[in-house]
Amino acid sequence: MSFVTQALDPFLTAGTHRATFTVASAPPTPLDPVPELLAGAAEVDLTPPPGLPKAGYSRNARTGIGFRGRLRARVLHLRSGTSSVAIVQCDLLGGSAVVQRLVASAVAGSTDVPLAGLFVGATHTHGAPGQFLGTDLYNGFASNQPGFDPVWTQFLVDRITDGVVSAVASRRPARLSWGSTEVWGLTRNRSLAAHVQNPDRTDRRVAAQRTYASVDPRLRLLRVDAVDGGPLAALVVFGVHGTGIPMRNSVYNADLWAYVYEEMRSRLGSTPVIGALQGTHADVAPALRPGRAGDVEAARVGRGIGAAASSLFSSLEPSLQTDVALGAGLREVDLATSRSVDGIELPARPALGAALIAGAFENETPVVHRIPPFRAGTPKPHGDEDPHGAKWVIGSRWLQPVVMPLRRFPRVIPVHVLRIGSAVLVGAPFEITVDAGRRVATAVAASSDVDDVIVSSVANEYAGYCTTAEEYTRQHYEGGHTLYGPRTNAFLAAHAASLASSVVPGAVVDEALPERTFDLRAHQYWPSASGGSGASGASGASGASGASGASAAPRAAGSARFIDVTAEQDAYWEQGWYDGAPGDLAWDQPIVHVEWTPSGEESWQTLVDDSSCALEVRHAGAADGGHRYLVRWHGPELRDGRDYRFVVRGLPLRPFN
């Protein structure tokens, strides 16, 4: 951890408005070969205190006031031959070059996982905080408030570091297998008018049923078992936006992915560490019933995906094998010096398109989405000589560079390739559309000898969108948000194919930049502890998430009440209590659970805890010299002859039935 502390301390303690630091990249150390596949897995809690802006819905998002279903990171570690990798699956908007670099440096002394083997991916939930990314653009505009939060970022680095170290320390002889199934009816293409601009493929069924083929129905799953201990981990890769829960929601959540995990745990048990990565999802949304965005619909979609994943997991047991080829490669493309590959050149400057302002189809910006040129499907008529083609550049090509300096944009594009047995996992920082992903996969398959290519969006950083050139011509939200113009897809495919050709079994291809310098506008949203100067540095972040410190003991506040079901929300029991300030509580530790007992008895048993989506915890503001909180138990199944009660940090509240 010392490296992380040294890297972050200068801007955590200087009191300036910018966070400026450099992280060097050490070349990978050659590893001795191991005779068999080794694997380890770990899960860590990423739930922060209230007060952090949520990312994904931009200015329409809400600041988090609590959580429903905890945010977590799952780590799957694999070691085979001379390669060592760790796949980090986060309930966050995306990966982050800052987090990836600092975690790689932090684990270098205690693990054999190199930077090229550290894959930091995400589910792209829109219910988690932002403010941890490597560019001012997305720390500024992905959330409802701007700025890079160094304390929140340090918390993420510490937790993920703990997860990687734990996963490596727990590794043992293992077996694994990839599988694939199709999931239909739970997703839809939200930008169909742009998608159908792509040429029909040769598959007659696909060409004839374009509406149904506008999503990628394939769910990929990697099952890993310990040779001597049964299931160890499950990694799901599937393409669907994390937008089942609407932007007006104000609690942290993993969106529909939380219900994927819960369904899989209910079917498979608690033994395997279950995590997920986003697939090619940029133009794919959950198939919600009209007007019903919320936890009820998110649960319906998520549990359907989880059921399919569970069946696939169970079917893979006969195909598990120990003889597994493993390789890793990371290329960081610095667009300041390398804008072309294989004759494909990107514009000298990125540009934000007008269609971006109107928002995506299911979450459009009121009024603006109806006005050209913001309205989807109103491309610029004369753009043949413009490197940004049909895009209407916000503020014009001349004014936008003045308002948005080049340094605010993503300028380093990480392309990551992991070879795992019969498949190649390709990670890129873009939100990638269905057909753009198919083209990347096709290019990679032609350059390598694997059975399957799996493309994952928003890995290792967030850099906007990647559409096909044909989709780009329509200038829907996805095209307006493709920063580097209509050739972005071809550029990415060429780099991914080139890198994949080098990632042979046992290879660790390190084409990362020798060092990365980040210069970010900073703002601390992480709440300060009462009676102190707030969390700062590594010790501050750790203190804010460890023991409750100055927090007073909780106090009961009234009786439980029942709130009936609505079209968007399930029924719930709610009860309040008084406690310390948000900055004093350990939000990544258990806070509340529900107990039951036969009526009239005192033999209380735990029924559900706050790791479940059934419990929601909210900060309701300062009150009576302290802070008031609410706990909600959603979808309760109360039985006659039983009493129930909430228990908050060891304090039993008044029973109800």
CA nearest neighbour of 78 among 432, 631, 506: 506
Does residue 382 sit within a domain?
no
Report the pLDDT averaged over residues 138-143: 96
Residue whose structure tokens are 């033994």: 271
Q: How far apart are CA 282 and CA 42, in angstroms?
A: 29
How many CB atoms lie under 10 A from the CB of residue 571? 14
> DSSP H helical segments within 381-431, as ranges?
396-403
- Which of the four pLDDT bands, split at 50, 70 and 90, describes residue 532? very low
Same domain for 566 and 460?
no
Report the pLDDT averaged over residues 55-72: 95
Whether residue 33 is preceded by a cis peptide bond, meaning omega within 30 degrees of 0, is: no
Where is 138: in which H helix or E strand? helix 136-141
Same domain for 500 and 640?
no
CA nearest neighbour of 498 among 411, 412, 438, 415: 415
Pairing of strands 452-456, 423-427: parallel
- Which of the four pLDDT bands, split at 50, 70 and 90, describes residue 468? very high
> Domain boundary at 497, 521, 545, which?
521
pLDDT of 15 strictly over 70:
no
pLDDT of 4 strictly over 50:
no
Same domain for 131 and 239?
yes
Q: How far apart are CA 96 and CA 405, in angstroms?
A: 21
pLDDT at residue 189 in the model: 95
Q: How far apart are CA 538 and CA 188, in angstroms?
A: 43
Task: State the CATH number of the domain containing residue 584.
Answer: 2.60.40.2300
Same domain for 122 and 199?
yes
Report the pLDDT averaged over residues 351-372: 83
pLDDT of 11 strictly over 90:
no
Q: Residue 21 pairs with which residues in a beta bridge?
A: 518
Does residue 232 sit within a domain?
yes
- CA distances (Å), 194 to each of 12, 19, 86, 488, 606, in order? 44, 39, 36, 16, 51
Q: Residue 516 pairs with which residues in a beta bridge?
A: 23
Q: How far apart are CA 500 and CA 507, in angstroms?
A: 11
**What share of the chain in percent tops pLDDT 70?**
92
Residue whose structure tokens are 């998110």: 298
Does residue 216 sit within a domain?
yes
Residue type, 28: P
- Which of the four pLDDT bands, split at 50, 70 and 90, describes residue 568? low
Does residue 530 sit within a domain?
no
- Which of the four pLDDT bands, split at 50, 70 and 90, describes residue 8? low
Distance in Å from the first CA to the final CA of the chain: 48
Q: Give the pLDDT confidence of 254-282 residue by residue, as tens digits.
A: 999 999 999 999 999 989 999 999 999 99
Contact 134, 410 (CB under 8 A): yes
Write the DSSP symbol of residue 92.
Answer: S
Burial zone of 637 (CB within 10 Å; 0-12 exposed, 13-18 middle, 19+ buried): exposed
Q: Give the pLDDT confidence of 388-444 residue by residue, as tens digits.
A: 999 999 988 889 999 999 999 999 999 999 999 999 999 999 999 999 999 999 999
Rounded-to-10 torsion of CA 159, 161, 166, 172: 140
pLDDT at residue 210 in the model: 52
pLDDT at residue 234 in the model: 98
Q: How far apart are CA 165 and CA 112, in angstroms?
A: 10
Contact 78, 168 (CB under 8 A): no
Residue type, 450: V
**Residues listed for the chain:** 657
Q: At 258, give phi and psi (nearest 5°).
A: -60, -35
- Which of the four pLDDT bands, split at 50, 70 and 90, describes residue 551? low
Same domain for 150 and 235?
yes
Write the DSSP symbol of residue 15.
Answer: -
> DSSP H helical segments within 196-294, as ranges?
204-208, 256-268
Same domain for 168 and 310?
yes
pLDDT of 313 strictly over 70:
yes
CA torsion through residues 143, 144, 147, 152, sign: negative
Report the pLDDT averaged over residues 92-107: 98
> Domain boundary at 521, 536, 563, which?
521
Does residue 379 sit within a domain?
no
Report the pLDDT averaged over residues 143-158: 97
Does residue 372 sit within a domain?
no
What's the mean pLDDT when you consider all of the chain? 91
pLDDT of 533 strictly over 80:
no
Same domain for 565 and 509?
no
Report the pLDDT averaged over residues 198-219: 67
CA nearest neighbour of 430 among 414, 417, 408: 414
Same domain for 577 and 450?
no
Does residue 396 sit within a domain?
no
Domain that holds residue 559: 555-652
pLDDT at residue 270 in the model: 85
- Which of the four pLDDT bands, split at 50, 70 and 90, describes residue 120? very high
Does residue 400 sit within a domain?
no
Same domain for 293 and 199?
yes
- Report how many domains make up the chain: 2
pLDDT at residue 565 in the model: 84
> Domain boundary at 521, 547, 571, which?
521
- Which of the four pLDDT bands, split at 50, 70 and 90, describes residue 207? very low
* Range name among 345-349, 378-382, 491-495 with the lowest pLDDT average: 378-382
Residue type, 213: A
pLDDT winner (highest mean) among 357-371, 377-391, 608-622? 608-622
Report the pLDDT averaged over residues 234-245: 97
Q: Give the pLDDT confidence of 336-356 residue by residue, as tens digits.
A: 999 999 999 999 999 999 998
pLDDT at residue 12 in the model: 52
Same domain for 42 and 84?
yes
Same domain for 139 and 183?
yes
pLDDT at residue 43 in the model: 98
Q: In what order do the strands lie in the sheet with 642-648?
A: 605-609, 592-598, 642-648, 651-652
Report the pLDDT averaged over residues 142-151: 96
Same domain for 500 and 562?
no
